[in-house]
Amino acid sequence: MRDLLADLNDRQREAVTAPLGPVLVLAGAGSGKTRVLTYRIAYLLEQKIFAPPEILALTFTNKAAGEMRGRIEKLFTPSPNPSHQGRESTKKKIPPPFVGEGRWGVTMGTFHSVCARILRHEIAGLKRGYDRNFVIYDQDDSQRLLKQILLELGMAERFRPNVVAYYISAAKNRLLEPHQLALQNSFLEETVQTAYQEYQRRLQSQNAVDFDDLLGLTCELLAQVPTVLRKYQDRFRYVLVDEYQDTNHAQYVFLRLLVKKHKNLFVVGDDAQSIYGFRGANLQNILDFRKDYRKARVIMLEQNYRSTQNILDTAAQVLKLNTFQYEKRLWTKNEAGQKVRLYEAADETDEGGFVLSVILNPPLAEKGSRFFGLRPQNDNRVEELVYETEETPILNQFFKLHSRRRSSSLPIYGSMNRQATDLGETVILYRTHAQSRPLEELLLSSGVPYQIVGGIKFYERQEIKDVLAYLRLLLNPRDLVSLARVINLPARGIGEANFRYLVQGLQKFQFNFGRLGRNLAELKLQPKALEGARNFFRLYAGAGKIPKQENLLGVMKFFLARSGYQEAIRDGSPEGENRWENIEELFNVAARYKRLPWAAGLRAFLEEAALMTDLDDLEEESNKLTLMTLHSAKGLEFENVFLVGLEEGLLPHSRSLLSPQELAEEIRLAYVGMTRAKRNLYLSYALQRQTFGEWKRAVPSRIIKAIPKRLIEKIPPHPSLSLQGRGIEGEGDFTL
């Protein structure tokens, strides 16, 4: 292995070689925090300070864990026998392999995936009736269950399942049981408490956990079962955490329990990038690190390797709007670079047109030259203009798409060159998903290839969730949410009343599908439902006869064919074939587990599907423009960044304006977006925006006003673009 320390700057080297004990690395944006984490692991292994199985690295996304794993592969290749990697003087026994660990025994994964693996081994110790075949409910599954509970409570018309789910999730992140909720005589709070209690009872009875339970139950397990706690304290003698500022209370408690014995906790984070308060992330965890771990060493990483100095200075000025944060000044050896470009758009369509013009013709935008527009006619219609370029069809498409808008003038921008910008290195960032609509319209009309992060994810597609539900029942017959989803897919004549009778029968026969199938005649089922239920349960009754060494893919194909679901999907329509293609892609995922016995492969497969994140669907190697929310962008970097919609009420969001804590997080969100840019940063806002079908006046964000003029180059709008004829006559002019 090459000299690790030669690749590091002084501060990075200090972090990588730090003594054992608690260490906080405050790593500014683009300062190499992932490098420090991976080099720290390699250093511990190279110096034989710890054996590979004794190291645990925790992240927040599968993507981050994969990146860390890939970097270590390039740095360190231990000998085939992991026992030779430990402390030779002690010759202690190396712990047995941990499910999901890396090829060398180092365990890397998200908090939720690691907790899920611990629970697979130890959940019986909670004495709550769970077994290792528990299923993990995603957001949709949880809300289906809550909807049923609210219906039974007579509250379905007053409270939506997603609202109640939000409050339950917030309670779980704080490790609060239903009886611990503080009630303020609010009907909503009382409903949440009642629904929460019944929700947990049903999860337990169905051998199911939700996403938050993975953390909460693991904390409960470690706190209440001393033998399990000691086992994992001795197993993971050194713990590393990425993005520590994003930890919630449950994750904080989990770490405190895990490292209490050996005190070896190495965390990397940046308080300036704390943007997930709405998910329960607690900024105080990183601010109070030195209080929690009094002998902690704190190391600052301030040299930025990503961005130009002008981008860093701009982001720093925005961050000054906040107080109560660690002081740090990012600097770089990179060039000063271009000034940040700022565009004042007449409306959201004009804003999208500006973005498109820069993407397709950056040289013109670099010079600040602009623009070609549409001439308004007296009756607020747009006169058709033919612009003579090689790309006239693109321009005309753009024009025709928007010519019927009420706007009196709409821009068409200079000569467009499709190859002008590396689309794979370009991203459009916005505060809310709703802002993507006008951008998508323009991109579709211009033929620019793009991808949206955070749209309908692969594992959220209806057909994929159907297949997963069929499979979950193979391991866990108590999963009534999955049963309700597929019992009548394809149609078997089983409505709500017949389903209730089936549930009663399942409870009577202790969720044994075979016994229920043989005794269906005892239930009050209609003839058609009786035959449909008999075929369904007969299918699962034979699951016990599947040879253990059968692979998962074979089992999947068998069940989909015999259940009739495959035939129902492939109905000859183009939509049906598209849905089947998605299922075939799922087959490709299942094929990765072909070397495992089918039951073990199925457990791992279902766990992978449940723990996928938005960013795991990002195609980083494709030459596509990326659209995503600011919250999804953290941890990524692009040559060119467009941050759109910088208006009061959008960024910062209107919900944050009455809360100093939430407003501070919105400022940090803008900071995160700006520091994704390597070379080019474009900011834009609109003077008006369409909301709920009405044009409303917009005010430039305080974020823009915080940036000194010396750092900004304003791109002038076309003279014809004004508020006149755009639904807000006489409202005056907006200028900075």
pLDDT band at 720 (very low <50, low <70, confident <90, very high): very low
Q: Choose, from 59, 200, 273, 629, the residue flagged as catalytic.
A: 273
Q: Mean per-residue pLDDT for 459-465?
A: 88
pLDDT in tens, 102-143: 445 789 999 999 999 999 999 999 988 899 999 999 989 999
pLDDT band at 199 (very low <50, low <70, confident <90, very high): very high
Flag whether pLDDT at 244 surpasses 80. Answer: yes
- Alpha carbon distance 304, 336 (integer Å): 12
Active site residue 131: no
- Res 533: pLDDT: 93
Which residues is 265 bridged to in the sheet?
A: 239
Q: Choose, from 138, 210, 242, 463, the residue flagged as catalytic.
A: 242
Flag whether pLDDT at 211 surpasses 70. Answer: yes
Flag whether pLDDT at 644 surpasses 70. Answer: yes
pLDDT band at 265 (very low <50, low <70, confident <90, very high): very high
**Is the Cβ–Cβ distance between 333 and 676 less than 8 Å?**
no
pLDDT band at 382 (very low <50, low <70, confident <90, very high): very low
- Res 619: pLDDT: 60
User: What is the residue-averaged pLDDT of the chain?
Assistant: 83
- Res 86: pLDDT: 37
Q: Mean per-residue pLDDT for 492-502?
A: 92
- Res 390: pLDDT: 38
Flag whether pLDDT at 521 surpasses 50. Answer: yes
Active site residue 613: no
Q: State residue 723 phi and psi, 5-degree precision.
A: -85, -15
Q: Mean per-residue pLDDT for 328-355?
A: 92
Active site residue 243: yes
121-135, 358-372, 417-431, 607-621: segment of lowest average pLDDT: 358-372
DSSP string, 420-449: SS-GGGEEEEESSGGGHHHHHHHHHHHT--
- Res 430: pLDDT: 95
Q: Mean per-residue pLDDT for 650-672?
A: 93
Active site residue 626: no
pLDDT band at 730 (very low <50, low <70, confident <90, very high): very low
Best-predicted range by mean pLDDT (208-212, 444-448, 588-592): 208-212
Q: Choose, from 17, 34, 325, 338, the residue flagged as catalytic.
A: 34
- Res 70: pLDDT: 82
Flag whether pLDDT at 88 surpasses 90. Answer: no
Q: Choose, from 33, 63, 465, 478, the residue flagged as catalytic.
A: 33
Q: Choose, from 67, 101, 243, 344, the residue flagged as catalytic.
A: 243
Q: Choose, from 431, 492, 676, 726, the residue flagged as catalytic.
A: 676
Q: Mean per-residue pLDDT for 524-549?
A: 87
Mention every residue, 6+ apart, whose C-beta is less than 8 A from residue 507: none
pLDDT band at 400 (very low <50, low <70, confident <90, very high): very low
- Res 437: pLDDT: 81
Q: Mean per-residue pLDDT for 539-565?
A: 87
- Res 616: pLDDT: 56
pLDDT band at 76 (very low <50, low <70, confident <90, very high): low
Coil, helix or strand for 152?
A: helix
- Res 267: pLDDT: 98
- Res 703: pLDDT: 97
- In this structure, are strands 694-697 and 688-691 parallel, antiparallel, or unpaired? antiparallel
For the chain, the 3-state helix, strand and coil shares in percent, each to the nearest 5, are 50, 15, 35
